Amino acid sequence: METATAPAKITNVFTNRGTKELSLPKNERRLVMSYMYVAFISLFIGGLMGLLQVLVRSGSFELPWGINYYTILTVHGVILGLVLTSFFIIGFQNALMGKTVGYSKKQLNWAWIGFAVMTIGMISAAITVLLGKANVLYTFYAPLQAHPVFYIGITLVVVGSWINAFVNFRQFYVWKKNHPDEKSPLLAFMVVINMLMWCIATIGVASAMLAQFIPWSLGYKNTINVLLSRTLFWYFGHPLVYFWLLPAYMAWYAIIPKIIGGKIFSDTLARFSFILFLFFSIPVGLHHQLTEPGLDSTWKFIQVILTFMVVIPSLMTAFSLFATFEITGRKKGYGGLFGWLKHLPWKDVRFLAPFIGMLAFIPGGAGGIVNASYQINTLVHNTIWVTGHFHLTAATTVILTFFGIAYWLIPHLTGRKLTKSVNRLGIIQTILWTVGMLIMSTSMHIQGLIGGPRRSDYSDYGGTAQAAEWGAYQMAQAVGGTILFIAIILMVYIFIKMVFFSPKGEEEFPIAQEEDHAEFTPKWTENWKLWISITIVLILFAYTVPVMDVIQNAPPGSAPFDWPIGNS
């Protein structure tokens, strides 16, 4: 908005506040919508697979036409965990970049190339999965061997995302060059942090693919270092979850305040918490490998400590969200200790869906602390507790926030309005999702605590009493999962309605501004060289010794195994 000027002698702060908003031209809208189409088609397919899984695991349903349970499990994980998330996120981030720093014609062309590469990769990987040639789940642990095209396809998705990341970096760089003494727009800053984290993290999976999986699956290499491939995967796999989460945080910090009629709590704090997420998202992957034989206990423990550091930015985020809610309420004249809660726009789905996402993050985060807790992890490792955990964090916190974004972003892109009736449907959708997930996730958590394994087709395990007890919780999951699938159908209906049938108009793209007298943001927040250096130093500290150890003290490599997954 307006730019306030401060005395020239203050040099360690940026003296501009707020974000100048650009409008999204037609071709940028089309780019973002392309990502959204892929995301919502993925939601439907992935959701259908989820429904089939819970039905099979209830013990009273069998898949038709000889379809394998692990094929649908692979489709579910890959299409929701990798495709839906990355397409929605990159599409949303591209919209944020267009809205705050803008695209040149050339940048937009490159963004389209990125989209094309991602889509080609996604489709080729999908074909191998659907043909039953890649029943390896989304973690593709060696030495299970999928069809080479599966690995090549996933690699292309990553490469496409890199092209997009470099477009975003370029946009940001050009903007900074043209606005030398100005603070960058908050949302653009956040996008750059998330894409930096993504690029550094995906080096792990890309090097595993290029140096290990692709040559090995093509037969150029006879064996694979299994533990190295797993370590590289989890070097990428944990920051992957922050890559999902940070776009939700973007909406919480910088979009929700506008929707509730408030201002950004603190620009500096928001930037600082994103910087901390950049530091502590990556050097922590070993906490997924706590019960593995080939890694040293001390390094596992060190990475556990680093994992727990995210508690700090998480608490900062929680504080500033609720502070925004309270400040906004009090400004509107709602007194009392909790009177400000009443002013919140509970009937506005753009707020309600992300708000429930925030609430889900309280038990979700607590469960995450359990998972990362070194010794306690042994109790829940690879039980269905873990599945329950990420259905709270990813499939509730992140996804409900993404839905909350979609309710205004899709009509904004298609030149339509979010109508009262769609809003009402959205509220029903949110409630259905909450109820379904409460049933499904809670029963997964309990079943995991009593030992039920994750990632498993229906089995009575020889008829033990324990397995019978697990079966009861699997019935509950079938109930919850069915409600969730109804919610997904409703969401797809809402999407179609917002794309093709809602009345024409201009839906607001809500971007929150700072208070007129907000404190200036210090210039150190944009010391990119320092942030990247600290990130790299932390990664080298956490990973150099364990990775050298895995390489130097390696057992004989593993030959490929294709028959266990029915790919021979």
Catalytic center residues:
238, 242, 389-391, 454-455
CA distance 513 to 511: 7
**How many of the other CB atoms lie within 10 Å of CB of 557?**
16
Indicate the residue among 146 and 256 with the shorter CB distance to other proteins.
146
Rule CB under 8 A: choose which of 23, 291, 527, 544 binds other proteins: 291
Residue located via tokens 């965990």: 81
Q: Contact 551/133 with Cβ under 8 angstroms?
A: no
Indicate the residue among 490 and 518 with the shorter CB distance to other proteins.
518
Indicate the residue among 15 and 382 with the shorter CB distance to other proteins.
382
Residues numbered 160 to 219 that lie near other proteins (CB under 8 A) are none
Task: From 77, 90, 218, select the one nearest 160 (Cα to Cα).
Answer: 90
Task: From 155, 74, 157, 88, select the one nearest 117 (Cα to Cα).
Answer: 157
Residues numbered 394 to 453 that lie near other proteins (CB under 8 A) are 450-453
Residues numbered 104 to 163 that lie near other proteins (CB under 8 A) are 135, 137, 139, 141-144
Indicate the residue among 284 and 565 with the shorter CB distance to other proteins.
565
Indicate the residue among 182 and 292 with the shorter CB distance to other proteins.
292
CA distance 34 to 17: 33
Residues numbered 323 to 382 that lie near other proteins (CB under 8 A) are 323, 369, 373-375, 377-379, 381-382
Q: Contact 447/473 with Cβ under 8 angstroms?
A: yes
The conformational region for residue 415 under phi > 0 = left, psi -120 to 50 = alpha, else beta, is left
Q: Is there binding between residue 227 and other proteins (CB under 8 A)?
A: yes
CB of 120 to other proteins, least distance (A): 27
Task: From 342, 239, 219, 227, select the one nearest 281 (Cα to Cα).
Answer: 239
Phi/psi for 452 (5° steps) reads -60, 130
Name the β-bridge partners of 144.
561
Q: Contact 126/157 with Cβ under 8 angstroms?
A: no
CB of 410 to other proteins, least distance (A): 35
Residues numbered 521 to 540 that lie near other proteins (CB under 8 A) are 522
CA distance 13 to 187: 18
Give how many residues touch other proteins by CB under 8 A.
77
Going by C-beta distance under 8 Å and a sequence separation of 6 or more, which residues neighbour residue 541?
A: 283
**How many of the other CB atoms lie within 10 Å of CB of 449?**
15
Name the β-bridge partners of 13.
522
CB of 112 to other proteins, least distance (A): 37
CB of 517 to other proteins, least distance (A): 12
CB of 451 to other proteins, least distance (A): 3
Indicate the residue among 385 and 403 with the shorter CB distance to other proteins.
385
In the structure encoding, which two tokens stand for residue 561, read together? 């195994």
Q: Spell out, one character per residue from 34 to 73, where the chain touches other proteins: x when CB under 8 A holds, - when not.
A: ----------------------------------x-x---
Q: Contact 487/429 with Cβ under 8 angstroms?
A: yes
Sign of CA pseudo-dihedral 46, 52, 53, 54: positive
Residues numbered 241 to 280 that lie near other proteins (CB under 8 A) are 266, 268-269, 272
CB of 425 to other proteins, least distance (A): 37
Indicate the residue among 27 and 562 with the shorter CB distance to other proteins.
562
Rule CB under 8 A: choose which of 222, 421, 466, 544 binds other proteins: 466
Helices (H), 349-507: 349-372, 377-380, 384-392, 399-414, 420-449, 465-496
CA distance 52 to 62: 9
Indicate the residue among 95 and 304 with the shorter CB distance to other proteins.
304
